[in-house]
Amino acid sequence: MDNDTKKLLGITDPNLKFPDHWLKAKQDRKGHERLEIEGTLTYSPAACPNCGVINIKTITRHGSIISIYPFGQFRSQPLDLKIKTQRFYCHACHSTFTASSPIFDPQTSITKDLKHEIILRLTRVESIKDIADDLGVSASTVQRTLQSLADEITIPNHNYLPKALCINEFKSMRVINGAMSFIAVDGDRHKLFEILEDRRLYKLFEHYSAYSMSARRHVKYLVMNMNAAYQQLAKTVFPCTKIVYDRFHIVKHLNDTMNHVRIHVYNRLRRGNTEE
């Protein structure tokens, strides 16, 4: 498959390989014709997603599975992506895992593009059956997508906080009140927990104080950067928590310090001054 076709189809992940004859026709259970794009997904993983060990010949290939993803319609003909997906085995934790690609959503059996298309169609006055027929998927796929949206926007439950709460700040928009926004990730489930517009400490106090005491006592680890302000959160709102500095920020600080020393030494030598 050439690059222009990949771009047109939105399957530009370099880890996806397609043979010269990548298009096949087949019949579904009801006898309707469907087109199928065949490809292979494989790469050398950088680390194990289960135990985090860096792959220095620690992870080996472990067979493959065939996954079929509905891919919408092309000229009124339903399309599928049939991907031979690599499995891996980690010798450090003896677990297996499957190759992943930004094109697919690991939670569902459809591609992310098709999921977006379904969501877009759900905003119009249209029956679920019509959407399913137009996009060449089953009605239950459309219903599941609708349900997943509902799950994402449920009212926060003030009686639950995860055992490991990973927090950080990020720049979101220029117009918000605080300069930065706040993100919290559920470390137990490896899922986004919540995003708050304003990361200023008094706002965070206000927000987390709304949670019940038992929920706040449930937070055992507060994973964060070395921002001293957030340590106040641990002292006041989460009484049973331990602060854990995340690896990313430790490595970043080490790197910044090494760079600082390197530039200092460089400038000293450039000036011909070898003494401290």
Question: How many residues touch Zn ion (CB under 5 A)?
Answer: 6
How many Å from the N-terminal Cα to the C-terminal Cα in the chain? 61
Residue from 92, 119, 215, 243 binding Zn ion (CB under 5 A): 92
- For residue 59, the minimal CB distance to Zn ion (Å) is 7
Specify the residue, 88 or 211, whose C-beta has the smaller distance to Zn ion: 88
Among positions 6-45, residues that touch Zn ion (CB under 5 A) are: none
- 93 in contact with Zn ion (CB under 5 A): yes
Tokens of 106: 């690991």
The rounded distance, in Å, linking the Cα atoms of 76 and 32 is 12
Among positions 141-200, residues that touch Zn ion (CB under 5 A) are: none
Give the other-Cβ count within 10 Å of 228's Cβ. 6
Specify the residue, 55 or 108, whose C-beta has the smaller distance to Zn ion: 55
DSSP states of 189-242: TTEEEEEES---HHHHHHHHHTS-HHHHHH--EEEE-S-HHHHHHHHHT-TT-E
- 243 in contact with Zn ion (CB under 5 A): no
Closest CA to 110 of 129, 135, 84: 135
- 90 in contact with Zn ion (CB under 5 A): yes
- For residue 55, the minimal CB distance to Zn ion (Å) is 9
Pairing, β 77-90 against β 33-41 = parallel
- For residue 90, the minimal CB distance to Zn ion (Å) is 3
As a 3-state breakdown, the chain gives helix, strand, coil percent values, each rounded to 5, of: 30, 30, 40
Specify the residue, 92 or 244, whose C-beta has the smaller distance to Zn ion: 92
- 50 in contact with Zn ion (CB under 5 A): yes
Residue from 51, 65, 251, 261 binding Zn ion (CB under 5 A): 51
Residue from 16, 48, 137, 142 binding Zn ion (CB under 5 A): 48
The rounded distance, in Å, linking the Cα atoms of 226 and 254 is 12
Which parts of this chain interact with Zn ion (CB under 5 A)?
Answer: 48, 50-51, 90, 92-93
